[in-house]
Structure 1
Amino acid sequence: MNDKSPLTAERVRADVAELLGRDPGSIDPEESLLDLGLDSIRIMSLIDRWRAAGATVEYPDLAERPELAHWISVVTGEVAA
C-alpha cells in the first residue's frame, strides 16, 4: 500500500470503468469486477498504469478482493464512497 499515492478514488474508478466500457458511476463499489468482465490481463494493465502514476500495488493485492472499494483503499489509501 502507498499512503502517499497521487491517485484518487475518482481516478481509480474512472480507470476501471474505462477498461470495462462502463460509466464510472454505474459500478457498485462492492460488486466483483471479475463478474463485470475484468480479467487478469486488464488487471495487470491497471497495475502498470497506477505504478506509472506512483502507486505501490501488486497483483495479489487486487486479485484477492476484486471489488472497487477494496482497490481504491489499496491504491490510494482512501475509503471508497
Structure 2
Amino acid sequence: MALTLEQIRSDVADSLGEDPADIPLDENLVDYGLDSVRIMALVERWRRDHGVTAAFVDLAERPAIEAWAPLLGVTP
C-alpha cells in the first residue's frame, strides 16, 4: 500500500497525541514536539508498512510534512 500525504499527517499526529487537523503540512514539526526518537519510529513504521527507503537524517534535516513527501515517494 502506498503512503499518502494524509497517512503521513495521521501518523505524525498519532505519534504526538494530536488531531491530524492540527498538524500543518508546511511548518517545522519540531515546534509541535516531534523529536528524533519519534522521527525514527515513524521512519521504521513507514519502511515496514510502505516500503519507504528514506533515511532518518533526510527527514530530520527538514521536519515538515511537505518536505518529507517527495523523500517518501508521495506527491503532495
- Picking from 18, 21, 28, the partner of 1:25 is 21
Mapped contact 2:3–2:74 kept (Cα < 8 A): no
- Picking from 50, 62, 69, the partner of 1:72 is 69
Aligned: 1:6 with 2:6 = no
Mapped contact 2:29–2:64 kept (Cα < 8 A): yes
> Distance between the aligned counterparts of 1:77 and 1:24, measured in 2?
17
Name the % identity. 47
1:48 maps to: 44
Structure 1 outlier segments of 4+, above 2 Å: none
Higher helix proportion: 2
> Distance between the aligned counterparts of 2:65 and 2:74, measured in 1?
13
Structure 1 residue runs of 5 or longer lacking an equivalent are none
Superposed CA RMSD: 1.3
> Distance between the aligned counterparts of 1:72 and 1:26, measured in 2?
18
Structure 2 residue runs of 5 or longer lacking an equivalent are none
Residues 23-69 of structure 1: CA deviation (Å, up to 9, x unaligned): 11111111111110011110000000000021111011101110111
Aligned length: 75
